[in-house]
Structure 1
């Protein structure tokens, strides 16, 4: 093939990337904003539905749980079926889940609707990464990962602000926090229908989807998370309930690993994740996800419940973290594309993330906002430098035909870390707050019945003395969960230091062995376009 032919082909490929990229970025925006638009509104939502702190946590956890459980299935399906059809199905599920969430009448219904919505979110998380990996070689993917990080930052910045404005607008109300994603989802469907065209690399007659493995993984993880949510509040750490739930979960997960090692098309590719580089990248991503999601989800609650800010003000106060993510992800992506090296960016990102958590671990109900902003900005920089580069480190180790399962694997473990982090830190926060409130009421000589049965998160319904005690309890407990996040994030630093990623390749697919035909299946088989 001549250099002129290669050049023209490269220009055509670039054009085919840029056209659907808008739709993919819009999909990512839809997925991200579904979580961030609710973050500042959750205290008001749970207060209006008279929910509890446990239900507050589960409104977030339910979405993460189903997203985590479904991500490996979406990734494997992407290697076998039309990526275009799958991403459209995921968007449709997300759209319906948004409508159901908006029409919920109590906290239980909202949690169930958010769980359904999470199925679509899991698909979007896996498929956007997979589709981009199917279009762009790893060496060039860094700059596009910078765009992904920028969109994530914009969604995270605008989401809390939008959620606050919606919640405080009388003619809209908190239900529009869920309805607002519907037009974005519909628009992304139209854009991708017109612009996204990818070949289906495998024969549909040879499809084997590992539903058994996915079910086992989902069951084991779900049981562990349910145990984390209720331990030390409904029953003791050392109890028959703990033994039954943890024991059963470990047995189920062990069976899942055994099953995955035997099936032809495992939902989690053990052959990939056992390799040193992917294994360490996944471990780092697990720690980063656990620390980041587990800590950040409670910041909106801290600003509103402890500091007394409105939802809109709470969104504005989150801007330092989002700006840190925006700038660092963009710059890091450009550096990676220019140098082809990942490790320095990942190590620096995880170290900076630990430093950010360390600053936030000093939070109290009266901490200076300058200290809070410094911690938020530092945490955002660490996230921007590490998150997408860890995904790229795994994608760079697999052939194009397996990139869906590989991308879904690291997304699965990152989401799993986030789900565990939210559940664990939410349980710690709930127990710490309950103990501090009980202690504060006792010292003030105020009976607990003076609250009139109102939720602790419904501050407007609480008498002034109890409200002050609740605000102090939430403020002081938030610093404690960030201290735990700091310890967890150190694991990510260790994994990043041990990581030895391969140089980023400049081709979409891995080089074929010499004895095989030079053209891969995607070139020799009839092109099945999405």
Structure 2
């Protein structure tokens, strides 16, 4: 119940006048919630995670169609990466907003942003408009995930929280596998076109909003101050620094080599600015500068209070990278080596996604029973190493069974820790040092602090997931465009007069003279071999992620987690109102 108290510390929840109940701190978090609401809340949040997962992967098989419509192959990576990058860049700001404004309103605004972004991307008249739509959708998705995670935290016991977050992770995974298949199906349909890969979100978001109106309770943290004074509580310097660093990190990785020449002064300058910005942001949060410890945008102090917070963040970041590479480059391999259609190539992801889902569910069930977590990370890292290591040896004639088996291994490894860190970090939050448990006032403040930090850990976990995906895909894109270009240029330049554009188009999977009918089979064969070898090199990024995860797991402190409801919650009776 302490999680709810954070929202009640400075005020009471927004209320419908007809519902005013007293909730005892020792009771179940949903004891005063009408029984019909909770299933609808789960459906609402599950559909949201389904859409978020779908939006991560729905462009994997529509990028060729977008290029054919608008050109600008150099901007294609942003169609995919822009979504996860903006989500990671804005998640800390959304966390602060949820602590200031009514949680239900934040959820509505987030869903509306996702709706607007989907409409813009679908109705785009140029590639920049597609990217802007994707960016807005990613911005809204971060808020929806953040608000949804807090709703689950407020309305569940610690044991339930681990399981329900695992359930939402499954919904995310189902969306992931549907993305390439549904997106590819629309792209191949001459009547629907790729635009409906974006428009399909509209009816689902409408359904989500309808369910949210009637089911979500209203929680608000602060009724005592004006909107302008609420905004001053946000660490804007930290928020802007975080946003700029995440965006620049992706930008320099995506454009260096393929669009910006490595030796160009502007390229070097952007790399330097990114490094300086990271140093400033780190120092600004550590001190903290221009803000207070209470209001800083990223609670870095948790990393120093218990090293497990930092190790879980790093491990989840690495897992996000492995997951993103498997999601995008497995279908690409089959498309190039076997000439499969986008849908057929995406179907090859089913073993990966299926194993991901099963291991996510297994981890959610086992964690509250075992109460220890390092084994999940150690096993995950070892399996990730084995799977990615095997995939790094890819050749054009590698048997399908071997590839799908290795992908399954990677899927299990990622699923074991994909949502595990969320539940673990929420239980690692400790009492205030020197707490006098005989003092009710101190205990009450301590519980409010822990509740706030547990919501911060949900944000930390979200950033680690999405930033891991963003950085890995940006790095992979950089390797693919630079190493792939060099391999193709060196191998086929003596067999024809191929321009830089021909090679770049071939790498992007769009129409290129290298793969046109009637081309010299030697050219096609060497190109496929070069691209396959490049994809194998990209798997070393996932291999490094496995090594990082394994080392982090071995360095974690073995401590038993407490998944029981704390008795200190029964200090006093608090007035709570659940709005219809």
- Provide TM-score, normalisation by structure 2: 0.82
- Aligned with residue 231 of structure 1, among 256, 260, 272: 256
Cα contact 2:52–2:172 (8 A) shared by 1:
no
CA distance in 2 between counterparts of 1:108 and 1:304 reads: 26
Who is 1:61 aligned against?
81
Who is 2:179 aligned against?
159
Cα contact 2:321–2:472 (8 A) shared by 1:
yes
Query: What per-residue deviation string (whole Å, max 9, x for no partner) do you get for residues 352-395 of structure 1?
Result: 22222122212222221111101111111111111100122222
Cα contact 1:346–1:389 (8 A) shared by 2:
no
Q: CA deviation at 1:67?
A: 1.1
Who is 2:555 aligned against?
498
After superposition, where does 1:213-252 map in structure 2 within 5 Å?
213-234=238-259, 240-252=265-277
Who is 2:510 aligned against?
458
- Aligned with residue 164 of structure 2, among 128, 144, 147: 144
Cα contact 2:104–2:219 (8 A) shared by 1:
no
After superposition, where does 1:121-132 map in structure 2 within 5 Å?
121-132=141-152
CA distance in 2 between counterparts of 1:41 and 1:303 reads: 16
Cα contact 2:28–2:157 (8 A) shared by 1:
no
1:472 counterpart = 2:525: no
Worse-superposed segment, 476-485 or 335-344: 335-344
Worse-superposed segment, 278-287 or 358-367: 358-367
| Structure 1, unpaired ranges of 5+ | none
Q: CA deviation at 1:190?
A: 0.9
Query: What per-residue deviation string (whole Å, max 9, x for no partner) do you get for residues 291-336 of structure 1?
Result: 3224432333222234311111012111000110111111221111
Q: CA deviation at 1:82?
A: 1.6
Cα contact 2:61–2:180 (8 A) shared by 1:
yes
1:50 counterpart = 2:76: no
Worse-superposed segment, 424-433 or 7-16: 7-16
Who is 2:40 aligned against?
19
Task: Indicate how the Cα distance of structure 1 residues 509 and 201 shifts in structure 2: closer, same or farther if over 3 A, else same.
Answer: farther
Who is 2:485 aligned against?
434
Q: CA deviation at 1:508?
A: 6.2
Who is 1:195 aligned against?
215
- Aligned with residue 411 of structure 1, among 459, 462, 469: 462
CA distance in 1 between counterparts of 2:190 and 2:240 reads: 43
Query: What per-residue deviation string (whole Å, max 9, x for no partner) do you get for residues 422-479 of structure 1?
Result: 1111010111221122123224x21115987993222476533355554333222111
CA distance in 1 between counterparts of 2:205 and 2:566 reads: 31
Worse-superposed segment, 320-329 or 453-462: 453-462
Q: CA deviation at 1:134?
A: 1.9
SS class of match (1:404): helix
Report the count of equivalent residues.
518
Cα contact 1:353–1:382 (8 A) shared by 2:
yes
Task: Indicate how the Cα distance of structure 1 residues 219 and 318 shifts in structure 2: closer, same or farther if over 3 A, else same.
Answer: same
SS class of match (1:297): helix
Q: CA deviation at 1:406?
A: 2.1
CA distance in 2 between counterparts of 1:81 and 1:337 reads: 32
Who is 2:540 aligned against?
483
Task: Indicate how the Cα distance of structure 1 residues 511 and 228 shifts in structure 2: closer, same or farther if over 3 A, else same.
Answer: farther
Q: CA deviation at 1:8?
A: 8.0
Query: What per-residue deviation string (whole Å, max 9, x for no partner) do you get for residues 28-77 of structure 1?
Result: 1111111222223333433443342x423221121122111111111121
Cα contact 1:137–1:509 (8 A) shared by 2:
no
Who is 2:352 aligned against?
321
Who is 2:191 aligned against?
171
User: Root-mean-square deviation (CA), in Å?
Assistant: 2.9
CA distance in 1 between counterparts of 2:191 and 2:242 reads: 43
Query: What per-residue deviation string (whole Å, max 9, x for no partner) do you get for residues 179-214 of structure 1?
Result: 111111111111111111143234452731222211
CA distance in 1 between counterparts of 2:190 and 2:260 reads: 42
- Provide TM-score, normalisation by structure 1: 0.89
CA distance in 2 between counterparts of 1:55 and 1:252 reads: 24
Cα contact 2:327–2:349 (8 A) shared by 1:
no
Task: Indicate how the Cα distance of structure 1 residues 239 and 78 shifts in structure 2: closer, same or farther if over 3 A, else same.
Answer: same
Task: Indicate how the Cα distance of structure 1 residues 72 and 450 shifts in structure 2: closer, same or farther if over 3 A, else same.
Answer: closer
Task: Indicate how the Cα distance of structure 1 residues 470 and 114 shifts in structure 2: closer, same or farther if over 3 A, else same.
Answer: farther
Cα contact 1:216–1:256 (8 A) shared by 2:
yes
Cα contact 1:437–1:473 (8 A) shared by 2:
yes
Task: Indicate how the Cα distance of structure 1 residues 118 and 79 shifts in structure 2: closer, same or farther if over 3 A, else same.
Answer: same
Q: CA deviation at 1:10?
A: 6.5
CA distance in 1 between counterparts of 2:534 and 2:349 reads: 19
Task: Indicate how the Cα distance of structure 1 residues 273 and 137 shifts in structure 2: closer, same or farther if over 3 A, else same.
Answer: farther
CA distance in 2 between counterparts of 1:203 and 1:119 reads: 26
Cα contact 1:139–1:504 (8 A) shared by 2:
no
Who is 1:83 aligned against?
103
- Aligned with residue 131 of structure 2, among 111, 122, 130: 111
Who is 2:12 aligned against?
none
Q: CA deviation at 1:240?
A: 4.1
| Structure 2, unpaired ranges of 5+ | 1-23, 430-449
Task: Indicate how the Cα distance of structure 1 residues 336 and 320 shifts in structure 2: closer, same or farther if over 3 A, else same.
Answer: same
Who is 1:29 aligned against?
50
Task: Indicate how the Cα distance of structure 1 residues 340 and 426 shifts in structure 2: closer, same or farther if over 3 A, else same.
Answer: same
Cα contact 2:384–2:414 (8 A) shared by 1:
yes
- Aligned with residue 408 of structure 2, among 359, 369, 377: 377
CA distance in 2 between counterparts of 1:198 and 1:309 reads: 49
Task: Indicate how the Cα distance of structure 1 residues 426 and 510 shifts in structure 2: closer, same or farther if over 3 A, else same.
Answer: farther
SS class of match (1:104): coil
Pair member with larger Rg = 2
Who is 1:185 aligned against?
205
